[in-house]
Chains A and B, each alone.
Chain A
Amino acid sequence: MPGPAQIIVDSVSHMYRPPRGREVLALDQVSLEVGNREFVALLGPSGCGKSTLLYLIGGFLPVEKGLISVDGAPVTGPGPDRGIVFQHFALFPWKTVRGNILYGLERQGMAKDEREKRAMDFIHLVGLSGFEDSYPSQLSGGMKQRTAIARTLAFDPKILLMDEPFGALDAQTRGLMQAELLRIWQMTPKTVIFVTHDVQEAVYLADRVAVMSARPGRIKTIVDTKFDKNDPNLFKTKAFGEKVDEIWNLVRDEAIKAQGTRVP
Chain B
Amino acid sequence: MKTLIRYTPLLLIAIAWELVARFELVSTTALPPLSDVIRAWIDMIKDGELITNGAASMYRGMAGLGLAIIVGAILGIAMAWWKPVNVLLAPIVEVFYPLPKSALIPVTVIWLGFGDGSKILLIFLGCMLPVTIGAFNGARSSEQVLVWSARSMGANKLRMLWDVVVPSAMPEMLNGIRTALALSFILLVSAELIVAQQGFGHLIGSLGANGSYDAMYAVVLTVAFLGFAADRLYLLITRWTFAWRM
Bin the interface of chain A by size.
20 to 34
Q: Determine whether A107 belongs to the interface, using a CB cutoff of 8 Å to chain B.
A: yes
Q: Determine whether A188 belongs to the interface, using a CB cutoff of 8 Å to chain B.
A: no
What are the residues of chain A within 8 A of B13 when measuring CB–CB? none
| Complexed CA–CA distance, A86 and B147 (Å) | 12
A-B contact count (CB 8 A): 67
What are the residues of chain A within 8 A of B167 when measuring CB–CB? 92, 94
| Complexed CA–CA distance, A96 and B243 (Å) | 11
Q: Knowing A107-B154, A108-B154, A155-B154 are in contact, say whether A90-B245 is a contact too (CB < 8 A).
A: no
Q: Determine whether A173 belongs to the interface, using a CB cutoff of 8 Å to chain B.
A: no
Q: Which of A78, A88, A136 contacts B148 (CB 8 A)?
A: A78
Contact across chains for A83 and B152 when beta carbons are under 8 A apart = yes
Chain A 117-155 residues near chain B, CB threshold 8 A: 135-138, 151, 155
B146-159 interface mask toward A, CB cutoff 8 Å, 1 = contact, 0 = none? Answer: 10111111110001
Binding site of B, secondary structure by majority: helix, strand, loop or mixed? helix
Contact across chains for B153 and A90 when beta carbons are under 8 A apart = no
Q: Determine whether A165 belongs to the interface, using a CB cutoff of 8 Å to chain B.
A: no
Q: Kindly provide the distance from the CB of A94 to the nearest chain B CB, expressed in whole angstroms.
A: 5
Q: Determine whether B94 belongs to the interface, using a CB cutoff of 8 Å to chain A.
A: no
Q: Determine whether B209 belongs to the interface, using a CB cutoff of 8 Å to chain A.
A: no
Q: Kindly provide the distance from the CB of B18 to the nearest chain A CB, expressed in whole angstroms.
A: 48
Interchain residue pairs with CB less than 8 A apart (27): A79-B152, A80-B152, A80-B153, A80-B154, A83-B153, A84-B149, A84-B152, A86-B145, A86-B148, A90-B143, A90-B145, A90-B148, A90-B149, A92-B163, A92-B164, A92-B167, A94-B167, A96-B244, A103-B153, A104-B154, A107-B153, A108-B153, A135-B244, A135-B246, A137-B244, A137-B245, A151-B153
Residue ranges of B at the interface with A (Cβ–Cβ < 8 Å): 143, 145-146, 148-155, 159, 163-164, 167, 170, 243-246
Residue ranges of A at the interface with B (Cβ–Cβ < 8 Å): 55, 58-60, 77-80, 82-84, 86, 88, 90, 92-96, 103-104, 107-108, 135-138, 151, 155, 157
15 more contacts with CB within 8 A, not counting A155-B153, A157-B152, are: A59-B152, A60-B151, A60-B152, A77-B151, A80-B154, A92-B163, A93-B244, A95-B244, A103-B163, A104-B154, A107-B153, A107-B155, A108-B154, A136-B244, A151-B153
